[in-house]
Amino acid sequence: MNNLTTFERKFELADARRVVGELADLIRPACARLEVCGSIRRGTPTVKDADVVAIAEHNLHTILDSLAENGTVIKALYGKEGNQSTRWGPKYRSMLFQGIKIELWLTSETSWGYIKWLRSGPKEANEYIMAYLIYKRAPIHFVDGDGWYSPGNLWHKPKDKWIAEDKVQLHIPDEDTFFSLLGMPYLPPNERSEQKYKNLMGNNRAHRWPDYPPFVLKAPEMATLVDAPSKAPVFGAKLKAGEMSRMSPLAVNETTAAAWTAQVYREALKRSESQLQQAQLMSRTYPSYARRAEALERDLVMIRGLAG
């Protein structure tokens, strides 16, 4: 390991893009996906460090080890002098390249949208979102780089990590999906700020959380509503499973299967119609909500068919 003390300096945006782009080109062949995020993606005038998000493929870790061994990159050092350490693990690696600190965050297709959002920042805005989820006791949390949904909202934090016995993983393939999970329209990176999030969530009486079952990660052999909207029976089965937590055990035991199924779809229909009205109202002020309204209209066509 190279024990040189880390040295960082501020770069003009264009220079930072060039330097980070050079490193990205070195490792891109070993990545299924790669994107430069952080302050570079937000377009800030000066850049001190950079974030790169990638999905590893083939021998990415071996290539990074070789770059460190031949001095192309220097492992960044953290901590006080005499007690310093590196951050060079399987999912996160921090390095210096031509004077700029670059943090590489590795994720999967399932969590790409969340990690891309998280590592695009800004930090204060991200912290507001996470605090708001806790404050509103939302049924979703983000733990260990992935998004999770608890149908019974059983989240608790016994130590330093949120856990829920009934949690299921969310499928977040892009940032559009991530913003939909928050009940917000997509915001370009340069418009993201704590105040903008407050305006769209905390200070917005029209804000509503979405129905989460359609966002749940499904087994490979099962279609999703987005990928295969024509496969209503698959969607219907997942909807019933997700809605089960909303009904008391007594109601389930006393209702015939057919009647219970119809009730599930009727309740989903009412909520979706209400959300569509809210999205249409918000689209008058925020045009990005039009995409949310279009998605809800597609959902309603399917749910109306299931509800009979």
* Residue predicted with more confidence, 115 or 275: 115
Whether 232 has a pLDDT exceeding 60, the answer reads no
Least confident of 43-47, 153-157, 223-227: 223-227
pLDDT at 261: 59
What confidence tens digit (pLDDT) does each residue in 179-206 have? 999 999 999 999 999 999 999 998 998 8
SS3 content of the chain, % helix, strand, coil (to 5): 45, 15, 35
- Average pLDDT (69-90) is 92
pLDDT at 219: 44
Spatial distance between the Cα atoms of 31 and 53, rounded to a whole number of angstroms: 10
Confidence band for 154, pLDDT divided at 50, 70 and 90: very high
Cβ-based neighbour number of residue 232 at 10 Å: 17
Q: At what angle do helices 232-243 and 257-283 cross, to 10 degrees?
A: 100
Spatial distance between the Cα atoms of 273 and 234, rounded to a whole number of angstroms: 21
pLDDT at 263: 66
Task: Write down the mean pLDDT value for the chain.
Answer: 83
Least confident of 93-97, 148-152, 174-178, 301-305: 301-305
Whether 258 has a pLDDT exceeding 60, the answer reads no
* Residue predicted with more confidence, 275 or 14: 14
Token representation of residue 276: 């569509």
Whether 271 has a pLDDT exceeding 50, the answer reads yes
**Location of structure tokens 């000066």:** 46
DSSP string, 99-158: TEEEEEEE--GGGHHHHHHHTT--HHHHHHHHHHHHHTT-SEEEETTEEEE-TT---B-S
DSSP 184: -
pLDDT at 250: 42
- Average pLDDT (44-56) is 96
Residue 204 sits at φ, ψ, to 5 deg, of: -110, 105
What domains appear along the chain, each with residue ranges and CATH number? 11-106 (3.30.460.10), 218-308 (no CATH)
- Average pLDDT (63-82) is 94
pLDDT at 257: 52
Residue 129 sits at φ, ψ, to 5 deg, of: -60, -50
- Average pLDDT (295-307) is 72
pTM reported for the whole predicted model: 0.70
Residue 291 one-letter amino acid: R
**Location of structure tokens 């109306």:** 304
pLDDT at 5: 45
Residue 280 one-letter amino acid: Q
pLDDT at 252: 46
Residue 76 sits at φ, ψ, to 5 deg, of: -65, 140
Write the CB contacts of 1 (distance below 8 Å, at least 6 apart in sequence): 68, 75, 86
Whether 246 has a pLDDT exceeding 60, the answer reads no
* Residue predicted with more confidence, 275 or 175: 175
